Structure 1
Amino acid sequence: MPRPLRILTPLHSFEPGGVERVALRLNAHWQQRGIDAIVLMGRDAGAMGTGNPPAQYRTFDQPGFSTAPFETLWMTARLPGAIRRLQPDILFCAGNTYAVVMLAMRMLLGRRCPPIVIKVSNDLARRDMHPAGRWFYRRWLRLQGRLAHAVVGMAEPMRAEIAVAMGVDPAKVWIVEDAAVSIAELALLAQPRTPAIRERRFVAAGRLTTQKNFALMLRAFAQGAASEDRLTIIGDGPDRAALERLVATLGLTGRVTMPGYQSSVAESFAEADYFLMSSDYEGVPAVVIEALAAGLPIVATNCSVSMDYLLQSGRFGLLTKVGDTAAFAHALTAIKSRPYSANAARTHAARFTVEHAAKAYLQVFSNVVAAPGRSSHIVSDIECAALSAP
């Protein structure tokens, strides 16, 4: 009898990142419901793995030195053997970062490579790139489109973008709303906010990296916020030291705090009045959905084809041009007078749950393995139940 569907998700580590966080949450949901979902880690380091990891996982045998500086090469070298041993029916590419590994698997394993489902986790236009780099990037996207058996976007506006940028048949494009929050987290994020005395409290969250452009946010805050206003930036990353120096240079010491990585943003969001995001590019940022679930008005850069959809054409906040410090500073003032419904924002955020996405991904995987020539694997009774569950 054919065995049940087996899903393999390779990840570099537990270092905080939106792609890894969502992938771990999806796999945890599948595992809790008896799905044969395997998470294979390049190394087990990182803040998301401390305490109880979000999902059960396996790791490659570790050498006597850190593989972090060359984690993609390390995974590319070790993954083919794991695929031969585990014989998965689906390789789940959890985000754009892992597409190069998936291409290597197709080249190394040939016809023995399982079908690949790629989740597009980032912006495909990449206007931040130099034109020459963008030319190569566009061809790289076309190559990804050729290697994938299905491509998944995280919000409806991504459908056309994916089909055009990756050159894929629209029939290969699926939309699965981003698994940003669980139903339980929706309730936690909806807790009443602590009222401010007289200052406005802004909050931001994300990896402290160039992509997130927190430097622009700090400069805009220095220009557009009142002297009593406060900003908290949650997260950690390689740009921390440079951002701390910028805080001092701008005279924001005492007004800006950077508490580091937090496994849950619910408490910090409950103590805030507005959410900020200044990224140069994004896919469907989970932290924006968390902010909506917390009922926070949002000021953000228009860093993704999906941002207007997330903010419902200005209903839940203001979008500014990417890289425009003056416009972002102006929006910090303008957001005060915008009409806003926290309940409507929370209702919108409820579309983006792990529970819904986990079931929808199983449907994608099942369709891929049921394609002509791939009928040797079946969806088990457990998986059928998961697909039909509310």
Structure 2
Amino acid sequence: MTQADATWLFLDAVPEFGGHEVMLLRWLQELDAQHGPVAARLLARADGRLFAQAPPGLRCAPLPAAGGLWRQLRALHARVRAERPECVVVASGALGAHVPQVLLLRLMGQRVLLYVPLLGTFASMGYRRGDWKDRFVRWFYGRVPRGWVAITAAQAEEFRRWARPSGRVFVLPNTVAPAIEQAPRLPVRALAPAEPLRVLVLGRLDAHQKGLDLLLAQLAQADPARLAGLRFSLVGDGPYRAPIEALLAARPALARHVECRPWMAAHEALAGSDVLLLASRFEGVPLVMLEAMALGVPVVCSDLPGTRPYVPARCRFAVGDIAGALDILHGLRPAALRQALADAGRTDFEAQASGRAFHHHVQQLTHAVRAHFAVGMRPGPALHAKKLPEN
């Protein structure tokens, strides 16, 4: 094992846990496994699920869970002085998160990479006062980090176009847990004439982002003949669960075609399904999409920058076009077609999102970031990097 040349500090200061934290842990584990020029260290809230789920061998340090933002910033300041990292990767679930932390790090002369899975405009995602938030990114936030990490080349290009960030935008594509990749592929079953196609909607039950309001509105008003041959399972937990259950209780005819079930592991949910449906208004690169591809389950989804490189055009529909999604689903009843889609999905997964591909992506990113630090990331005079004193 070779000694690392430098340390990269990875920061996530929120208590929640979501898809980007899953990917952050994979990135950290991959850096550790490669024994390359960079040693990784995680800095996360002591009461957060990210800190709790970090693997035992990963170098971790806690941020205080109590005492407010000022205490957290002091702890971050002390940790940076102790670690003297080559750069700090700040993992944010959304643009605009971790603003105080990023400002502190830059004032300390640190090179900051911001890892954000969603780099579309706030306005396009339907955020309140989205135009003003987009201006904030253009005028200020896009100029503070010294680099950005996106999860697809299309999202990186979109971000460059609308935000005009001052730092370089790198790309690190998503992958899945090794257990999913190594699991046997799920069989594609043939359907009897009266047997429904089992359609899975898996993930956080959020009405707006996941498009569940659009999906349920279309299903509720559809002619019963339009729903014949389809069975929808909405699996997950979240703020929209109670409205879904209330709607199904009030509409017995709809409940014959739609069920709502608690969250379960992806492999278990996909094993009981024929097709995965993603009706989202916006996404990064959905992990459940990659998990379905790895296991051999066809995917039908909204046409988004994060799904376009992975799902064929015949299985994508315009955002909000649930009627179009139903047309696609009805066309997937033949087992031979679903088998062909499953085979193609697995091939694309292995090329773009497998562990082997991710290993290569991390190597490329590490090299590109370090080379860019040496050439193109010299701090400006206002935030000039100085040698940090020892503790």
* TM interval, short-chain normalised: 0.7 to 0.9
Match of 1:301 in 2: 302
Give the Cα–Cα distance (whole angstroms) in 1 for the partners of residues 301 and 74 of structure 2: 39
Pair 1:117 & 2:120 matched: no
The equivalences for 1:155-304 within 5 A come to 155-168=152-165, 172-178=168-174, 180-182=175-177, 185-188=180-183, 190-193=185-188, 198-209=195-206, 210-222=208-220, 223=222, 226-227=227-228, 229-251=230-252, 252-253=254-255, 255-262=257-264, 264-302=265-303, 304=304
Match of 2:348 in 1: 348
- Measured after TM superposition, the shift of residue 228 of structure 1 is 5.7
Give the Cα–Cα distance (whole angstroms) in 2 for the partners of residues 267 and 11 of structure 1: 29
Match of 2:316 in 1: 318
User: Is residue 25–residue 55 contact of structure 1 (8 Å, CA) maintained in 2?
Assistant: no
Query: Number of residues paired by the alignment?
Result: 361
Match of 1:154 in 2: 151
Give the Cα–Cα distance (whole angstroms) in 2 for the partners of residues 282 and 186 of structure 1: 22
Corresponding residue to 2:103 among 94, 101, 107: 107
User: Is residue 186–residue 296 contact of structure 2 (8 Å, CA) maintained in 1?
Assistant: no
- Provide the secondary structure at the position in 1 that maps to 2:209: helix
Give the Cα–Cα distance (whole angstroms) in 2 for the partners of residues 297 and 289 of structure 1: 10
TM-score by length of 2: 0.77
- Measured after TM superposition, the shift of residue 193 of structure 1 is 4.3
Decide whether aligned partners of structure 1 residues 154 and 38 sit closer, same or farther in structure 2, where only a CA change above 3 A counts.
same
Match of 2:388 in 1: none
Match of 1:81 in 2: 78
- Measured after TM superposition, the shift of residue 41 of structure 1 is 1.6
1:79-103: CA deviation from partner (whole Å, max 9, x where unpaired)? 33332333222211324536531x4
1:7-37: CA deviation from partner (whole Å, max 9, x where unpaired)? 2222245744111111112112223444521
Decide whether aligned partners of structure 1 residues 60 and 136 sit closer, same or farther in structure 2, where only a CA change above 3 A counts.
closer
- Provide the secondary structure at the position in 2 that maps to 1:38: strand
Q: Once superposed, what is the RMSD of the aligned Cα atoms?
A: 3.6
Give the Cα–Cα distance (whole angstroms) in 1 for the partners of residues 163 and 316 of structure 2: 30
Letter in 2 for 1:360: Q
User: Is residue 8–residue 39 contact of structure 1 (8 Å, CA) maintained in 2?
Assistant: yes
1:134-188: CA deviation from partner (whole Å, max 9, x where unpaired)? 243244155333123222222222232122122136x82223222x225653232
- Measured after TM superposition, the shift of residue 199 of structure 1 is 1.7
- Measured after TM superposition, the shift of residue 280 of structure 1 is 1.6
- Provide the secondary structure at the position in 1 that maps to 2:309: helix
Can you give the 5+ residue segments of structure 2 that lack an aligned partner in the other structure? Answer: 380-384, 386-391
Give the Cα–Cα distance (whole angstroms) in 1 for the partners of residues 267 and 233 of structure 2: 13
Corresponding residue to 1:361 among 365, 369, 376: 365
1:220-272: CA deviation from partner (whole Å, max 9, x where unpaired)? 4453763563322333223322232233234344654444334x412321321
Decide whether aligned partners of structure 1 residues 132 and 98 sit closer, same or farther in structure 2, where only a CA change above 3 A counts.
closer
Matched residues, percent identical? 22
Decide whether aligned partners of structure 1 residues 43 and 278 sit closer, same or farther in structure 2, where only a CA change above 3 A counts.
farther
Give the Cα–Cα distance (whole angstroms) in 1 for the partners of residues 196 and 114 of structure 2: 44
- Measured after TM superposition, the shift of residue 202 of structure 1 is 0.9
Larger deviation, residues 39-48 vs 355-364: 39-48
Select the structure of larger CA radius of gyration. 2
Decide whether aligned partners of structure 1 residues 194 and 85 sit closer, same or farther in structure 2, where only a CA change above 3 A counts.
farther
1:288-326: CA deviation from partner (whole Å, max 9, x where unpaired)? 222222333322223x32332222333xx1223x23444
- Provide the secondary structure at the position in 1 that maps to 2:360: helix
Letter in 2 for 1:79: L
Give the Cα–Cα distance (whole angstroms) in 1 for the partners of residues 43 and 290 of structure 2: 27
- Measured after TM superposition, the shift of residue 274 of structure 1 is 0.8
User: Is residue 247–residue 253 contact of structure 1 (8 Å, CA) maintained in 2?
Assistant: yes
TM-score by length of 1: 0.77
RCO higher in structure (CA 8 A, sep ≥6): 1
- Measured after TM superposition, the shift of residue 108 of structure 1 is 2.9
